[in-house]
Structure 1
Amino acid sequence: MKLILTTDVQNLGAPGDIVEVKDGYGRNYLLPRNYAIVATRGAEKQVEQIRRAQKARQIRDLGHAKEVANQIGQLSVTVTAKAAGDSGRLFGSVTPAQVVEAVKKAGGPALDRHAIEIPEQIKSVGTHPVSVRLHPEVTAQVQVAVVAS
């Protein structure tokens, strides 16, 4: 199956890349999550538009990624979540979108939620480590403080 990637997919390619994948992987994983679109003649014309849009949001280079990583590492990021009683457990879990919003509120840069890597679900109040993949060679660590509302 021939697809055009719309976001960065680890071990596969960058946005705008035309890739050949197995039918099941494309149909069951990439297409439902909007990581790719089917490569047609019309869609191939959109490749340049996808690349331009991604380049505008992307970290410019390795030096810029390291600079942003230092900036993110110095932030005090707090996420407010609904707690379930005195035990400190949450009703849900903290999502990457909530982390992106908290980083932005703390004065950090606008990040892509797909770049946020939460090692295990955050389901309790406290401080938790979260990784932010800024560049293939640069990953920033940020401590996210989860407080009950």
Structure 2
Amino acid sequence: MKLILREDVEKLGDSGDIVEVRAGYGRNYLIPQGKAMMATDGALKQLERMKEQAERRAELTIEAAQDMAERLETTSVTISVSVGEDERIHGSVTNQDVAEALEERDITIDKRKISLDQDIKTLGEYTATVNLIGEIKPQIKVWVVKK
């Protein structure tokens, strides 16, 4: 039985794949669960249209990510912290702090996409990397200064 997967199915395939399965597995599990549909001529044409639309959306997303990367490459943020002896920070500067500093500059980035190259526990200049999409990973300068 030939089916088109509507969602990723473990050990079978990804969404949009055309797979060959046993009739009982397809008829009794995949189709009733909404995980697959019959691979008819109309469904195959619809799948092609959906793939084309997804590719166009992905291109737009990549273009937006490249624009954001250019904007981030030219951005540096300053984070003010309280310090103790030897200019050491109370605690450390985290990716959350960098995300909040970017938010003040009207740039919204999820804190989970920001990675610091090293632990920030002293004053100075550091680099943070933002994982946007795929290989697009701009770096931001982070200045840590005394309050």
For normalisation by structure 1, the TM-score amounts to: 0.57
Match of 1:23 in 2: none
In 1, Cα distance between equivalents of 2:8 and 2:83: 42
Q: After the TM superposition, which residues 98-117 of structure 1 pair with which residues of structure 2 at under 5 Å, given as runs? A: 98-105=97-104, 107-117=105-115
Amino acid in the other structure paired with 2:121: K
Q: After the TM superposition, which residues 1-149 of structure 1 pair with which residues of structure 2 at under 5 Å, given as runs? A: 61-85=61-85, 87-105=86-104, 107-149=105-147
Q: Which has the larger radius of gyration?
A: 2
SS of structure 1 residue aligned to 2:144: strand
Structure 2: 5+ residue stretches without partners:
1-6, 12-59
Higher helix share: 2
Instruction: Report how far residue 18 of structure 1 moved.
Output: 7.8
Do 1:81 and 1:146's aligned partners in 2 also have CA atoms closer than 8 Å? yes
Match of 1:26 in 2: none
For normalisation by structure 2, the TM-score amounts to: 0.57
In 2, Cα distance between equivalents of 1:101 and 1:17: 35
The runs of at least 4 aligned residues of structure 1 exceeding 2 Å deviation read 16-20
Structure 1: 5+ residue stretches without partners:
1-15, 21-59
In 1, Cα distance between equivalents of 2:111 and 2:9: 23
Do 1:62 and 1:137's aligned partners in 2 also have CA atoms closer than 8 Å? no
1:40-84 CA distances to partner (integer Å, 9 max, x unpaired)?
xxxxxxxxxxxxxxxxxxxx6211111101111112311111111
Do 1:116 and 1:130's aligned partners in 2 also have CA atoms closer than 8 Å? yes
In 1, Cα distance between equivalents of 2:74 and 2:120: 21
Do 1:126 and 1:146's aligned partners in 2 also have CA atoms closer than 8 Å? yes
RMSD: 2.5
Match of 1:34 in 2: none
Do 1:71 and 1:108's aligned partners in 2 also have CA atoms closer than 8 Å? no
Q: Percent identity?
A: 28
In 1, Cα distance between equivalents of 2:68 and 2:106: 9
In 1, Cα distance between equivalents of 2:79 and 2:10: 37
